[in-house]
Amino acid sequence: MKLSEYEVGNFFDEMFGENGRPRAAARPLARNIESLPPGELTIRQSAADRALVQAGITFNVYGESAGIEKTLPFDLVPRIVAATEWERIERGLKQRIRALNLFIDDLYHDQKILKDGAVPREIIASSKGLRQQCVGMNPPRGVWCHITGTDLVRHSDGQIYVLEDNLRCPSGVSYVLENRRLMKSLFPEVFAASHIRPVSNYPIRLRDMLEYLAPEEVTSPRVVLLTPGIYNSAYFEHSFLAQQMGIELVEGSDLVVSDGYVWMRTTKGFERVDVIYRRIDDDFLDPESFRSDSVLGVPGLMEVYKSGNVALANAPGTGVADDKVIYAYVPRIIKYYLNEEIILPNVPTYICAEADDLKYVLEHLGELVVKAANESGGYGMLVGPHAKAEECREFAKRIQANPRNYIAQPTLSLSRVPTLVDGRLEGRHVDLRPYILYGKEIFVVPGGLTRVALKKGSLVVNSSQGGGSKDTWVLADNPMAAEKERNDAAGETTAVNRT
C-alpha cells in the first residue's frame, strides 16, 4: 500500500511530519504498511472486526432498547507516542493527580484553598459532585482518586492539552488491553522491530493498588469489583478486569452489611469483603446515604466505609474535582498546593459563572465548544462550528438559565491519525486517555485509549457518538529498558493467571 497518497491536510498529523514524511517514531510501521500488498490492510482489519464480534467485546448504548450491544469500532493504524513526549505527559499527569488529590482532601476537611480565595467558594458550594456525607472523612492511606483517566488532546500548534479529568469511574482501559492483544496478532513484525512499552501488567498493578487499601489488620485481603450489572454500558470491562485480576465480580445484591462489616453471599455462607473497586456512581452506592431509590448499591455500605472496615476505590466524593468548572481552576490548584507551574496545560476555558466570560461565550457561540459541568460521554455538549443556528439559540437559553453549569472552550483542531476508510488511509481526529493509578505511588500506564472520530471531519470521539478506538504505542527511548519491562510484564501476567 502506498503511503504517498495519504493527505496530511491542514492538521497536526501524529504519524507524518510537516514535510509529509513519517515521523521518526512511526518509521518501522510506515515501512511495514508500504510493504503490504494492496488490500492486505483491509483483510487484517476485517480479521480484527470479526475477532471483536466473536469475543463479544461490546458496550451497551443508552437510549436504545435495553440489551443492544455494539462493538467499539477498532482501527488498526495505531497512534504512536515518542519516548521524550511521553516522559513529559507522564510527569504532567502525576503532578495533576497529586494536586487534585490534595484539593479533594482539603475540600472535605479545612477548605484552606477556599479560605485563601484561590478557588471561589460559590463554585464549590454549587457543585453537584460535593458530598456532604464525605465531609471529615479520611480514606485509607489518604488517597481519594485511585484510578483516573485523563483526556488529552493535541491542537494544531503541536501542544498537548488536558481536556478533561475523569476522577469518578473512568472506563475504557479494557480496550487498551484488548486492542494491544489484537495488534500483536495483526502486526507481529512491527512489534519485533519497534520498542513498544507493554501495557499488559495493568491488571496486576491495579490489584496491588487495591490490596494496598485494605484495613491494616487484614493479611490476605479480599478485593471485589462492584458492577451495576450486565445492562451497564461498561459491563464487558467490569467482567474483563475482574477476570484479569482474578477477583470476584459482584453486584449490589451479592453484598450485605452486617455487624459493621461487608459480606458477600456465597454458596457456602457469608464471606467478608475488604476492598471494593466500585464501578457504580456515588449516587447509587448506598441507598441509606445517597439516593434512597437505588437498587444497585448496598444499604449501610457508607457506615462500614467510615468505620474503616472496608475500602472503596475511588473514594466517594471525588466527583467534586471532576467538575468541568473546577477544571478551569486546576492550574491555580496546582500552584496552590505544589507551588509548581502546570506541566500539561489546560485548554483555555471560559467560565460562564463569571460575567465577562458569559458575555463573551454568548456572543461567540458559533466558534466555541460548550460543555455542561456534570455530563460525560459527549452528552449535553454544543460544538459551535458544527451546530445549526437553531441549536445555538436553544443552547444559549440553557446557559442563561444556569450559567454555573457551563464552560466554553475554543474549538480545537484535534490532531489526526491515518485511519482505514473504505480501503484507503484518511486522516481522522483523535484524543488520548491515559490511565493513572494512585496507591503507594503514582503509576501512569505507558499507553492509553486513543479514541478516534470515525466520521469525516467530526471532532466527537465518544463511543456513544460514533467514535472508535486505536491502539496507542508508547516507545521506549532505551531498547534494553523496554526489553526488561516487557519481560517483567510477561512474568507478572503469568503470575496473575496462576492465581
Partner 1 sequence: MLSRVADSIYWMSRYVERAENVARFVDVNLNLMLDAPSGTGQQWQPLVNITGDHADFTKRYEEPTQHNVTQFLTFDRDNPNSIISCLRAARENARSVREIISSEMWLQLNSFYLMVNSAAASGKLVDSPHDFFSEVKLASHLFLGLTDATMTHGEGWHFGRLGRMLERADKTSRILDVKYFILLRSAADVGTPFDDVQWAAVLRSASAFEMYRKRHGRIAPKSIVEFLLLDAEFPRAIRFCLDSARDSLHAITGTPVGTYRKAPEKLLGQLCSDLAYVNVDDAIADGLHEYLDTLQTKMNLVSGGIYETLLAKRVPEARPAPKEKIQKQKQE
* Binding residues vs partner 1 (CB under 8 A): 53-56, 217-218, 229-230, 235-236, 239-240, 242-243, 248-251, 253-254, 256, 258-259, 261, 263-270, 272
CB 149 within 8 A of CB 427: no
Q: How far is the CB of 499 from partner 1 (least distance, A)?
A: 13
Q: How far is the CB of 441 from partner 1 (least distance, A)?
A: 28
Which of residues 116 and 217 has its CB atom nearest to partner 1 in the complex? 217
Q: How far is the CB of 7 from partner 1 (least distance, A)?
A: 38
Q: How far apart are CA 328 and CA 321, in angstroms?
A: 11
Q: How far is the CB of 266 from partner 1 (least distance, A)?
A: 6
In single-letter form, the type of residue at position 17 comes to G
Q: How far apart are CA 258 and CA 114, in angstroms?
A: 39
Q: How far is the CB of 171 from partner 1 (least distance, A)?
A: 16
CB proximity list for 157: less than 8 A, separation 6 or greater: 12
End-to-end CA distance of the chain: 45
Q: How far is the CB of 202 from partner 1 (least distance, A)?
A: 16
Q: How far is the CB of 91 from partner 1 (least distance, A)?
A: 35
Which of residues 274 and 282 has its CB atom nearest to partner 1 in the complex? 274
Return the SS3 of 322: helix
CB 184 within 8 A of CB 177: no
User: How many angstroms separate the most distant Cα atoms in the chain?
Assistant: 69
Q: How far apart are CA 92 and CA 87, in angstroms?
A: 9
Which of residues 267 and 292 has its CB atom nearest to partner 1 in the complex? 267
Which of residues 89 and 245 has its CB atom nearest to partner 1 in the complex? 245
Q: How far apart are CA 73 and CA 420, in angstroms?
A: 11
CB proximity list for 190: less than 8 A, separation 6 or greater: 28, 29, 32
Which of residues 8 and 61 has its CB atom nearest to partner 1 in the complex? 61
Q: How far is the CB of 236 from partner 1 (least distance, A)?
A: 8
Q: How far apart are CA 217 and CA 199, in angstroms?
A: 32
Residue among 315, 118, 82, 278 nearest 196 (CA): 82
Q: How far apart are CA 107 and CA 114, in angstroms?
A: 8
Which of residues 236 and 290 has its CB atom nearest to partner 1 in the complex? 236
Which of residues 219 and 339 has its CB atom nearest to partner 1 in the complex? 219
DSSP characters for 415-478? -EEEEEETTEEEEEEEEEE-EEEESSSEEE-SS-EEEEE-STT-----GGGTEEEEEEEEBPSS
Q: Which residue has the cell 490476605?
A: 220
Which of residues 108 and 236 has its CB atom nearest to partner 1 in the complex? 236
**Residues pairing with 436 in the sheet:** 148, 444
**Residues pairing with 437 in the sheet:** 147, 443
CB 180 within 8 A of CB 200: yes
Q: Which three cell numbers stand for residue 58?
A: 461490546
Q: How far is the CB of 271 from partner 1 (least distance, A)?
A: 9
Which of residues 26 and 310 has its CB atom nearest to partner 1 in the complex? 310
Which of residues 37 and 269 has its CB atom nearest to partner 1 in the complex? 269
Q: How far is the CB of 209 from partner 1 (least distance, A)?
A: 19
